[in-house]
Amino acid sequence: MAKVLITGGTGLVGMHLGRKLLEQGYEVAILSRTKRNENKIQTYFWDYNKNEIDKDAINTSDYIIHLAGANLGERRWTSKRKRLILDSRIKSAELIYNSMDKGNNRLRAFITASAIGYYGAATYDKIFSETEPAADDFLGQTCKLWEQVADRFTDIGIRTVKIRTGVVLAKQGGVLPKIVIPIKLGIGSAIGEGNQYFPWIHIDDLCSIYIKAIEDTQMIGAFNAVAPEQKTNKQFIETIAHYMDKPFWFPKIPAFAIKVIFGKMSEMILNGSRISSDKIKISGFVFKYPKLESALEKLEL
């Protein structure tokens, strides 16, 4: 039985993925700063701020899935928050790398989360694929540095996969419950111009991509994890409103209001380009929820 170690295992994706891995017969462990008694899931201690980790977690695992990282949309992007966003991704990955017994390790693959923010917080006509360079803005450079740590595993001969994820849709947790609040109240409307794209993925499809990354030894490098369907913010909100049988208002939420509320983080909300899912599809992955309507039916909003 292969052992999978998950960082960020108590987060939205980590918990969902852990359950799916157990269902498929994997042994699952997580890294946490607090001791937990998870059913069938072993917990190891770590604290990247103190550079502390139980090295047995690393050196007894066949696969590591690195999901740890401060939530991008949780708070305004102050200088302190930006540093936390960076450190929570980069220092944690460096701690894992530095804790490995490189002369005698059993690790078959290091699989890290990344984000479509790699391509930047901007709205362009082009469709971004994995061959594009990282953007020069905060999101782009954060993802670039995040992935560069993962590339150190490649340098010592470990298969490395980088999953550049869009907005994850889940019934409980994540951004979707926040999006539907005004729609339920009958005041759903587009944000800003509404023509920015909103790349998304159902949480079940995302977890299936991670499992494929474990099992498919041909998966190496970066893969975009977004549904094939490409919708603008306006189309996304309108589709949800229609599904919930709620009105969709023509007046848009003005950009200046979003900037006042969210500050620098508003760049991520007001911008977005199309992201290609061709590479993951060519690898043989079949999306269970390729269209928003099918995803919403599963989520049962």
In a domain, 139, yes or no: yes
Q: What is the CA radius of gyration of the chain?
A: 19
Strands 167-169 and 274-275: unpaired
C-alpha to C-alpha distance for 103 and 101, rounded to whole angstroms: 6
Q: What is the mean pLDDT of residues 216-221?
A: 98
Q: Residue 37's pLDDT is what? A: 61
pTM, two decimal places: 0.94
In a domain, 232, yes or no: no
Please give the C-alpha separations between residue 210 and each of 45, 111, 285, 297, in angstroms, as whole numbers.
Answer: 23, 8, 11, 23
Q: How is residue 33 annotated by DSSP?
A: S
In a domain, 99, yes or no: yes
Range of the domain at 130: 3-170+200-226
In a domain, 76, yes or no: yes
What CATH number is given to the structural domain containing 150? Answer: 3.40.50.720
Number of domains within the chain: 1
For 89-133, the pLDDT digits (tens) are: 999 999 999 998 876 678 999 999 999 999 998 888 899 999 999
Cβ atoms 252, 215 nearer than 8 A: no
In a domain, 151, yes or no: yes
In a domain, 268, yes or no: no
In a domain, 207, yes or no: yes
Q: Which helix (H) or strand (E) holds 107?
A: none
For 44-93, the pLDDT digits (tens) are: 999 999 999 999 999 999 999 999 998 887 788 888 998 999 999 999 99
- Residue type, position 233, single letter: N
- Burial label, 101 (beta-carbon count in 10 A; 0-12, 13-18, 19+): exposed
In a domain, 272, yes or no: no
**What length does the chain have?**
301
The number of C-alpha atoms within 13 Å of 275 and in the hemisphere containing its C-beta is: 30
